[in-house]
Amino acid sequence: MNLATIKRPSWRRLASLTIASCGALASGDAQLPERFTNLQVLPPGIASDSLLSVMGGFTRALGVPCRHCHVARNGGRPAADEFAADGVEAKRVARAMLRMVDAINREHLPATGRLPVNMAQVTCATCHRGIRRPVALEDELWAAYVRSGLDSTVALYRALRTQHYGTGAYDFSELPLPTLADRLATQPVGQADALVLMRLNLEYHPDSWFTYQQLGQLQASMGDTAAAIVSVERGLALNPQRPFLRELLTRLLKR
């Protein structure tokens, strides 16, 4: 690999795909036009198979079909003469995203001063992880909470987990629910709901000392010292090395 190839914008990599995998998904199905007439960001002379691999990468990175960004008058697959049209808002956004990713890879990352060969590249999938709007789980749940309350939030968490667990689309570790619970608990009216979210987290992460620690602090701030002590003791049993839990317990026992 020489510097010239590295410096050239690598459109294939934008979409994070291997050339081997690209044909399989996209090319068999879509009827492409003979010539591309409305490329404003991608190189106008781009080869058909390269364009297709970029587009196939988009569909996988965002988890959407071609028609999410392309006009499809018959409601199914866009026809060959429809791809050039700009009627869909998502196509406009995708162009802005292409420019952003290109700027990151060509300007901002090299500006770190690291050697190009060692440098990772940002792709659509870096952020999108297979979903249309790459939003952190706690933010997605927060929006549901504000919109429709606790029950919907819990239902959404379970549904997203069923649908996406293991795909990397969302973080289903022990962290997002306590983060959201913290946010809720800043309002006195949110504290009881925050408790429910902590319990939900323990259902999926029964060995999370961190959740017990946060739960203990929440219970303490709600005035339930007895419950707080139980939680903190559980946390300590799971992580005896944690001085903060020990201090917390000492403080609670003095109450």
Nearer to ligand HEC (CB atom), residue 126 or residue 191 = 126
**If binding is defined by CB under 6 A, does position 134 make contact with ligand HEC?**
yes
Instruction: Answer whether 122's CB lies under 8 Å from 99's CB.
Output: no
CA 166 → CA 45, 170, 223, distances in Å?
39, 9, 38
Q: Which amino acid is at 103?
A: A
Nearer to ligand HEC (CB atom), residue 132 or residue 251 = 132
**If binding is defined by CB under 6 A, does position 58 make contact with ligand HEC?**
yes
**If binding is defined by CB under 6 A, does position 36 make contact with ligand HEC?**
yes
**If binding is defined by CB under 6 A, does position 59 make contact with ligand HEC?**
yes
Q: Which of 6, 10, 12, 33 binds ligand HEC (CB under 6 A)?
A: 33
How crowded is residue 190: how many other Cβ atoms within 10 Å of its Cβ? Answer: 18
Mark residues 146-165: x for contact with ligand HEC by CB under 6 A, - for none: --------------------
Binding segment (CB under 6 A) for ligand HEC, from list 26-34, 108-116, 158-166, 169-177: 26-34
Q: Which amino acid is at 99?
A: R
CA 44, 45, 47, 53 torsion-angle sign: negative
Separation between Cα atoms, residue 114 and residue 59, nearest integer Å? 31
The Cα diameter of the chain in Å comes to 79
Distance, C-alpha 37 to centroid of its chain: 33
Separation between Cα atoms, residue 102 and residue 67, nearest integer Å? 24
**If binding is defined by CB under 6 A, does position 69 make contact with ligand HEC?**
yes
Separation between Cα atoms, residue 85 and residue 38, nearest integer Å? 8
**If binding is defined by CB under 6 A, does position 230 make contact with ligand HEC?**
no
**If binding is defined by CB under 6 A, does position 94 make contact with ligand HEC?**
yes
Q: Which of 17, 22, 60, 66 binds ligand HEC (CB under 6 A)?
A: 66
The residues of the shown chain that bind ligand HEC, judged by CB under 6 A, are: 14, 26, 30, 32-33, 36-42, 51, 55-56, 58-59, 62, 64, 66, 68-70, 83-84, 90-91, 93-95, 97-98, 101, 122, 124, 126-128, 132-134
